[in-house]
Amino acid sequence: MNVLITGATGGIGQALIEVFYKNSWNILAVGRNNKILEDLKLKYKDRIEIYSRDISKEKEIIEFLEEIKDREINLLINGAGIGEIGEFENISLIEEQKMININIQALLILTKYFYKKMLKRKEGGIINISSTAGFQVGGPLMCGYYATKAYVNSLTFGLIEENQEKNIKIMLLCPGPTATNFKGMKREIEGVKKFYITTPEEVANQCYRDYISGKKLSIPGKINKALYYINKFIPWKIQLRNIKKIQEKKYKETLK
């Protein structure tokens, strides 16, 4: 079975590769960091193919799809994603647009392409990596990022329902704060943060278990899951105020 993973060079992507490799999958890994891609090749040898591609560029995605058009992809994981933190007026339009190109446009192009192929074969699966941010009404100090994840949630939920009788497995993965190099996060977690920050390995293991058992929505971490339910009862203005406090703290840490 072949799994194509974008964001393969990142914290969650690398952890996913490990889990899928251990479960006998072959991996097509997409990222840009050549050093990490080469290390992945050394580690997983003939069970991995590495593709250094900038998926913020539509042209590179189209060329990549042409290159692998004869390959059977049994599972697509749209994992690549970037975040920008700061006041809206201080994040350049170019940065906002790049975020949209990666978090939305690339995910849309790949999902549509492989979903249609999978429908023809009547087999396959797609995991879209969003975030618990996608459930929030908005994300002060990360306005653009939260908006991209709301898109991913909405698109994926819609597709899950459309697809009910079409036999393609579709799952939305919504991690909460995870210890990776993602903007505003750190790989090392200390002290009290261990209670609410998940490791990429926890996210990847939960993702695999949930996908195999046929779940449609996967939220790794007990606290993230609890907050997902509690959030439904919090008025939107209070939600926004709470998020602002959290993001302000994160933003200050990035400035240190």
For binding to ligand NAP (CB under 6 A), which residues are involved?
7-13, 31-33, 54-56, 79-82, 102, 129, 131, 175, 177-178, 180-182, 185
The angle, 0 to 180 degrees and rounded to 10, between the axes of the packed helices 107-121 and 143-162 is: 10
**Amino acid occupying residue 165:** E
CB 47 → ligand NAP: shortest distance, Å?
Answer: 19
Residue with smaller CB distance to ligand NAP, 125 or 177: 177
CB 103 → ligand NAP: shortest distance, Å?
Answer: 6
Residue with smaller CB distance to ligand NAP, 6 or 125: 6
Residue listed under structure tokens 């899950």? 160
Residues in a beta bridge with 129? 173
CB 177 → ligand NAP: shortest distance, Å?
Answer: 5
Strand, coil or helix: 237: helix
Residue with smaller CB distance to ligand NAP, 32 or 119: 32
Pair 10, 21: CB distance under 8 Å: no
Residues in a beta bridge with 125? 75, 169
Residue with smaller CB distance to ligand NAP, 201 or 234: 201
Beta-strand ranges (E) seen in 59-205 are 75-78, 125-129, 169-173
Q: How far apart are the first and last CA of the chain?
A: 45
Question: Which one, of 154, 192, 193, lies nearest residue 174 by Cα?
Answer: 154
d(C-alpha 101, C-alpha 83), whole Å: 12
Residue with smaller CB distance to ligand NAP, 117 or 202: 202
d(C-alpha 132, C-alpha 7), whole Å: 18
Residue with smaller CB distance to ligand NAP, 178 or 206: 178
CB 232 → ligand NAP: shortest distance, Å?
Answer: 19
